[in-house]
């Protein structure tokens, strides 16, 4: 035997080597486990996407068969107070709920023959027990740990018995507009897309928003203006945190159960997985009992906040347990992951069937969905010469008048704290209203009054106002002549068109007068009239200040509430009328959630691009603060509650003439 073959190999590991081996093993474990978890979550995310895409196929098959998409749900009217169904005073009776969109799609998913569902009976009927308790993997996101058989929804019926529902993770888009207690109220001064019609004789009713489906209401492809690649049809929701939590229930045709609703910029549930520390978020049936049982700390900690005092069908947003966003299926069948940081106005219009397809930018859409797009600052509307206004202006001292008799006052430059601080007020505080310093470095000419009905008709050729002799609210009008009342029911697009038409008049071009909407900062400064203090959100109406405040508490109780001629009440210190009365007013700025926090100090002009435009002010049916930060509205729609006033920019003409008349 050779010496080599008889050699004995002895492996002896030193302590350092063993420690090194353990360290390497721990590193591999620490790296490998999260990587494995990410792979598992990726698989769950893909399963969720597949489920949504299959629902999309079924949705289109349903439309091909019925020529409409399914309603969000069918509700009966037994025991309902139809005139006050949306009053927020009483919870909707769950026993009126019949079949919903999911049940209507099941035959197209291949699951329609697996059980018998009686659509002519309420969902809670004993005949429907087997159906509503059925678990369907195709309706479940595997990432949702609360969607499991031992957490079925438990509903107590009027007779005290308990019925059970299986969970589900997908909802149909009912729309992004919140349900107002009274259309045009302070929570929603803009053009609401919520509609409600009923017949007391037949006891039939329909309720719908700006989404794909409503209660007892269906839409076809031809009803949808929005593009198929930008309009949300279906989206994720989370299963409830407890058996009494009604969210995420596939057979329950209620808001939050299988319907999203009211999660746009109006209201307090504006975006995917929405969380707001002092906000109500989802307004759902049974929320007070849920908070009493689980407590606010637990519910809010799970990012499943709801209005703890609300017991109603009003709003619920898309939610998921995926990290950082939710899956949404667009009408073209594609599934997109939408970031929690998506711009809220984009989220709003993606859920509106009435949003024009042209407002979306295909080049930036993907980045916008991921919350990665920054639009920058808007350009100046017009190049204004240094002769535009006197360099130093005493308030209400310098005026001009144009060729159609519109009067403008030079508003002085100034510095102030813009925005609305959150001081624990009852009404949900706009989270984009961060107080910030603004400095307007030049005076500007602002219309003394809101544009009147006569002026608008003279330039635009029509009078769309609801508060006129031929308008929608003509029964409320007591004046024989409303020509001097503010024009309203005009869209932002209409207001801009008015400015362009007025600027194009020969007399206006001759003297270099160019018209535009004021920026939001210009509007607020003119409204403040040199008041530089912070604005309390719910400051009491100042009864001694008659500046445009026609919406007093006494007037609010009257049946005949309408607008009044401009200038009826005294001007403010800057000589401007009705800044907090008559109607809300369009301004030029796009609304963007984070703009206040990032805007420049000097002469902010608003974001360069966006989807909705800001409105400011107060109006004729309200009692409120002297000045108010408010939500934005669709620029393509008018409202009886919104008008506008304009700025006159003076550019030096060929003769260098600027027509300034001192008081």
**What does the block give as tokens for 365?**
């859409």
Same domain, 413 and 355: no
- Domain boundary (369, 399, 414) is at 369
Same domain, 365 and 391: no
Alpha-carbon span 155 to 174, nearest angstrom: 23
**What does the block give as tokens for 30?**
């620490």
Cβ neighbours of residue 281 closer than 8 Å, sequence gap 6 or more: 268, 269, 274, 275, 305, 306, 307, 317
Alpha-carbon span 126 to 109, nearest angstrom: 24
pLDDT of res. 279:
56
Cβ neighbours of residue 2 closer than 8 Å, sequence gap 6 or more: none
Alpha-carbon span 218 to 268, nearest angstrom: 27
Alpha-carbon span 242 to 224, nearest angstrom: 37
Cα Rg of the chain, angstroms: 29
Question: Per residue in 137-181, pLDDT tens?
Answer: 999 999 999 999 999 999 988 888 999 999 999 999 999 987 765
Beta strands 613-616; 584-590: pairing state: antiparallel
Give helix 101-109 / helix 15-66 axis angle, nearest 10°. 100
Same domain, 337 and 434: no
Domain range for residue 167? 48-369
In a domain, 642, yes or no: yes
In a domain, 425, yes or no: yes
SS3 call for 60: helix
Cβ neighbours of residue 87 closer than 8 Å, sequence gap 6 or more: 181
Q: Which residue has the tokens 């409830």?
A: 240
pLDDT of res. 83:
87
In a domain, 33, yes or no: no
Q: Contact 306/288 with Cβ under 8 angstroms?
A: no
In a domain, 36, yes or no: no
* Total structural domains within the chain: 2
Same domain, 190 and 250: yes
104-131: b (≥16 Cβ within 10 Å) or e: bbbebbebeeeeebeeeebbbbeebeeb
SS3 call for 100: strand
- Domain boundary (344, 369, 394) is at 369
Q: In what helix (H) or strand (E) does residue 499 lie, and over which residues does it extend?
A: helix 492-503
Spans in the chain with pLDDT lower than 50: 1-6, 183-184, 383-387, 422, 424-425, 427-429, 537-541, 549-559, 622-627, 653-663
443-480: b (≥16 Cβ within 10 Å) or e: bbbbbbbbbbbbbbbebbeebbbbbbeebebeebbeee
Other Cβ atoms within 10 Å of 421 Cβ, number: 14
| Number of residues assigned to the chain | 663
Same domain, 269 and 404: no
**Cα distances (Å, whole numbers) of residue 439 to 413, 524, 602:** 8, 12, 5
**Cα distances (Å, whole numbers) of residue 252 to 151, 321, 351, 359:** 15, 21, 21, 35
Q: What is the dihedral of CA 445, 446, 452, 456, to 10 degrees?
A: 60
Q: Contact 498/451 with Cβ under 8 angstroms?
A: yes
Alpha-carbon span 264 to 268, nearest angstrom: 8
Same domain, 322 and 200: yes
Q: Contact 322/41 with Cβ under 8 angstroms?
A: yes
pLDDT of res. 661:
42
Q: Contact 304/238 with Cβ under 8 angstroms?
A: yes
pLDDT of res. 294:
96
Same domain, 358 and 434: no
Same domain, 156 and 90: yes
In a domain, 15, yes or no: no
Q: In what helix (H) or strand (E) does residue 153 lie, and over which residues does it extend?
A: strand 153-156
Q: Contact 71/213 with Cβ under 8 angstroms?
A: yes
Closest CA to 175 of 322, 361, 355, 303: 355
492-526: b (≥16 Cβ within 10 Å) or e: bbbbbebbeebbeeeebeebbbbbbbbbbbbbbbb
How many C-alpha atoms does 152 have within 13 Å on its Cβ side? 17
In a domain, 12, yes or no: no
Same domain, 365 and 400: no
In a domain, 9, yes or no: no
Same domain, 488 and 568: yes
What is the CATH number for 624?
A: 3.90.1580.10
pLDDT of res. 9:
52
Cβ neighbours of residue 395 closer than 8 Å, sequence gap 6 or more: 412, 529, 530, 573, 574, 575
- Domain boundary (369, 399, 427) is at 369
Same domain, 126 and 271: yes
SS3 call for 59: helix
Alpha-carbon span 144 to 487, nearest angstrom: 51
pLDDT of res. 538:
43
In a domain, 465, yes or no: yes
SS3 call for 150: helix
Same domain, 275 and 397: no
């Amino acid at each position: 035997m050779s010496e080599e073959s008889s050699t004995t190999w002895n492996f002896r590991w030193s302590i350092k080597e063993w420690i090194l081996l353990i360290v390497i093993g721990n590193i591999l474990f620490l790296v490998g486990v999260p990587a494995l978890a990410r792979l598992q979550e990726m698989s769950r995310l893909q399963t969720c996407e597949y489920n949504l895409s299959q629902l999309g196929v079924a949705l289109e098959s349903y439309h091909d068969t019925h020529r409409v998409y399914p309603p969000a749900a069918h509700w009966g009217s037994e025991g309902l107070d139809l005139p006050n169904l949306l009053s927020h005073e009483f919870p909707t009776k769950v026993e009126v709920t019949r079949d919903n969109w999911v049940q209507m799609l099941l035959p197209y998913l291949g699951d329609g023959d697996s059980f018998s569902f009686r659509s002519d009976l309420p969902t809670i009927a004993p005949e429907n027990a087997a159906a509503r308790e059925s678990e369907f993997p195709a309706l479940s996101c595997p990432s949702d740990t609360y969607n499991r058989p031992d957490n079925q929804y438990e509903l107590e019926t009027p007779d005290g018995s308990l019925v059970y529902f299986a969970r589900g993770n997908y909802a149909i888009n009912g729309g992004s507009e919140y349900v107002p207690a009274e259309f045009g109220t302070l929570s929603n001064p803009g053009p609401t897309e919520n509609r409600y019609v009923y017949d007391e004789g037949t006891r039939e009713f329909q309720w719908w928003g700006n989404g794909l489906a409503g209660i007892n209401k269906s839409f076809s492809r031809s009803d949808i203006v929005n593009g198929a690649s930008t309009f949300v049809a279906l989206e994720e929701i989370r299963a409830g945190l407890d058996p009494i939590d009604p969210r995420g229930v596939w057979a329950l045709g209620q808001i939050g159960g299988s319907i999203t609703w009211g999660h746009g910029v109006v209201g307090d549930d504006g975006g995917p997985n929405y969380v707001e520390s002092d906000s109500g978020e989802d307004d759902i049936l049974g929320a007070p009992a849920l908070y009493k049982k689980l407590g606010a700390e637990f519910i809010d900690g799970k990012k499943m906040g709801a209005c703890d005092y609300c017991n109603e069908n009003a709003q619920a947003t898309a939610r998921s347990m995926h990290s950082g966003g939710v899956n949404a299926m667009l009408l073209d069948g594609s599934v997109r992951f939408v970031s929690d940081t998506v711009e809220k106005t984009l989220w709003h219009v993606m859920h509106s069937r009435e949003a024009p397809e042209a407002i979306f930018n295909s080049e930036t859409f993907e980045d916008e969905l991921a919350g990665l797009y920054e639009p920058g600052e808007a350009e100046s509307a017009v190049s204004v010469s240094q002769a535009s206004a006197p360099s130093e202006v005493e308030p209400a001292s310098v005026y001009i008048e144009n060729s159609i008799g519109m009067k403008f006052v030079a508003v002085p430059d100034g510095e102030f704290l813009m925005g609305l601080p959150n001081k624990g007020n009852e009404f949900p505080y706009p989270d984009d209203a961060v107080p910030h310093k603004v400095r307007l470095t030049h005076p500007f000419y602002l219309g003394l009054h809101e544009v009147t009905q006569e002026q608008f008709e003279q330039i635009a050729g029509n009078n769309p106002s609801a508060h006129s002799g031929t308008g929608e609210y003509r029964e409320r009008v007591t004046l024989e002549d409303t020509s001097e009342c503010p024009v309203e029911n005009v869209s932002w697009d209409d207001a801009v068109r008015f400015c362009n038409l007025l600027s194009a008049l020969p007399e206006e071009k001759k003297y270099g007068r160019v018209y535009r909407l004021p920026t939001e900062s210009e509007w607020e400064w003119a409204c403040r009239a040199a008041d530089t203090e912070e604005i309390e959100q719910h400051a009491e109406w100042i009864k001694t200040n008659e500046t445009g405040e026609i919406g007093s508490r006494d007037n609010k109780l009257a049946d005949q509430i309408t607008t009044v001629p401009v200038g009826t009440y005294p001007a403010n210190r800057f000589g401007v009328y009705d800044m907090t009365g008559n109607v809300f007013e369009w301004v030029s700025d796009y609304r963007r959630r984070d703009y206040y926090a990032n805007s420049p100090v000097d002469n902010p002009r608003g974001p360069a691009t966006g989807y909705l435009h800001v409105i400011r002010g107060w109006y004729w049916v309200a009692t409120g603060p002297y000045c108010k930060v408010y939500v934005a509205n669709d620029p393509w729609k008018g409202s009886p509650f919104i008008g506008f006033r304009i700025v006159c920019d003076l550019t030096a003409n060929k003769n260098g003439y600027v027509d300034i008349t001192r008081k």
